[in-house]
Amino acid sequence: MQSTQSYSRTQIGLHWAIAGLILLNYVLSEGMEDAFDATMEGKVVAFGITPNLHVWVGVAVLVLVVVRFAVRLVQGAPAPMGTAFADKVATVGHWALYALMFAAPVLGAVSWFGGIDATAEWHVLVVNMLMILALAHAVVALVHQFLLKNGTMLRMMRASAPK
């Protein structure tokens, strides 16, 4: 995978847009379990705006994640800047985040559009794993920025060349 000087503007924009939409959809998930159960029982769902908004914000996340993954494969990423061990942990963590943010909406979509109960439980489990890993990821980024003062946050805020 090629090493670049910095993440591109596109990559930075997609990182923050996806993070924001995932957080928004977590908040917008209240009542989804009841809405899904009611739909599975063939009832007409009347739970305000939740099902539609949750479903379409989630589908938007999925589309953006696919675009982001393709951009990442084409454009690469800046070289890591820690010790060999820390860089390995970061690489594994980042690919795990990619896998979870792809799997979470896919499982939701398979459950909702396919009417499959089994994948709904996996959807919620994977979403929770994603939220825990994303929280740990954010804490590590902030520790690097404010305690170790190595400018990590700037890597996801400033592109050195317009792309």
Given a contact cutoff of 8 angstroms between Cβ atoms, the answer to whether 111 and 36 are in contact is yes
In the complex, minimum distance from the CB of residue 35 to ligand HEM, in angstroms, rounded to a whole number: 7
Q: How many positions of this chain bind ligand HEM (CB under 6 A)?
A: 40
Q: Which residue has the tokens 């946050």?
A: 153
The two structure tokens encoding residue 126:
């994977």
Helix axes 117-146, 84-114, angle to 10 degrees: 150
Q: What whole-number distance in Å separates Cα of residue 28 and Cα of residue 25?
A: 5
Decide: is 64 part of the binding site for ligand HEM (CB under 6 A): no
Q: Is the CA virtual torsion 18, 24, 30, 36 positive or negative?
A: negative
Minimum gap (Å) between residue 77 Cβ and ligand HEM: 4
Q: Nearer to ligand HEM by C-beta: 53 or 162?
A: 53
Tell me: does residue 14 bind ligand HEM (CB under 6 A): no
CB of 131 to ligand HEM, least distance (A): 7
Site mask for ligand HEM (CB under 6 A), range 103-132, x = bound = -xx--xx-xx-------x--xx--x-----
